[in-house]
Amino acid sequence: MKTWGGGSDSYFEYLIKYARLFNPDDPIFVNTWQTAVDSSIKTLLRTSTVGNHLYTADFDDQRLIRHVGSHLACFNGGNWILGGKLLNNDTIVNYGLQLADACWNTYASTLTGIGPEAFAYISSDGNFTGGSAPDSSDLAFYAKHGFYITDGVYINRPEVLETNFYAWRATGDTKYLDRAASAVASFNKYLQTPTGYAGLNDVTNPSLGLIDDTESFWFAEVLKYFHISLDEYVFNTEAHPFKAPPAKATYATNTILPGKPFTAKAGPPLPAISPSRFDKGSRNPQ
């Protein structure tokens, strides 16, 4: 699976952040990141038939486009804005801003004002997701909002606000401040408990209750992206700040690495993975 979501997100994030943090002479990290973005622009970008929202699709092992998105993948807008700025590439920055708008729409479109874990959409080439086709309620929601929800849980994820932070820093447009304020209001209304902030079982139906858990990245990332301004630091994938040297004038090499077919190699059995408490079917309302 080729995706900007879980399983690949931190890799793409570190490619461009490594270049900014260490200013290496070897351009391999910048070139690899730019190649990934270039191929994504050519292959993965999709626009919804309702609302013209821009998303990065997934590309599965059967070489099929999956019209899916996720809260995790919504870091991509901020990543493209950061990388585009470092490369002085306005095209990438502008795509990043469009991705930011689409991901914010997943917040603005729900009853709670909080975005879902996963969603899907329809573009000019179809609505294949690798799973079930949208039902009538999905299509009705899509007709209003340009996406439909496939997993409505919220587990304190930061990525939409992370991208919103980069969009604000890049543009100074106060609409991004308004979006952050809206998220704060929603979190205070729907997630706050006497002892902290919980997850939500369904962003479209708060009556289904809270998840009795607060993820560490709520403190490490979400709360930082609401207010910080640290020009001399690079955030790692958990938003821990690392002091960076003065930036180069540009990091651009305009080098796209040559592509070649990927051949999977057989290896030893993968280790067992413990089931996540956030897997569908294992969540208990509180």
Q: Is 238 a catalytic residue?
A: no
Q: Count of CB atoms within 10 A of residue 168's CB? A: 20
- For residue 274, what pLDDT is reported? 56
Q: Which pLDDT does position 83 carry in this prediction?
A: 96
Q: How far is CA 65 from CA 44, 119, 202, 255, in A?
A: 8, 15, 27, 26
Rg (alpha carbons) of the chain, rounded to whole number:
19
The residues that bridge with 45 in the sheet, in sequence order, are: 56
- Weakest mean pLDDT among 41-45, 194-198, 243-247, 267-271: 267-271
Residues 6+ apart with CB under 8 A from 188: none
- CA triple 159-69-59, angle to 5 deg: 120
Out of 117, 162, 215, 221, pick the active-site residue. 117
Q: pLDDT at position 285, please?
A: 47
- pLDDT, tens digit, 9 for 90 and up, residues 81-138: 999 999 999 999 999 999 999 999 999 999 999 999 999 999 999 999 999 999 999 9
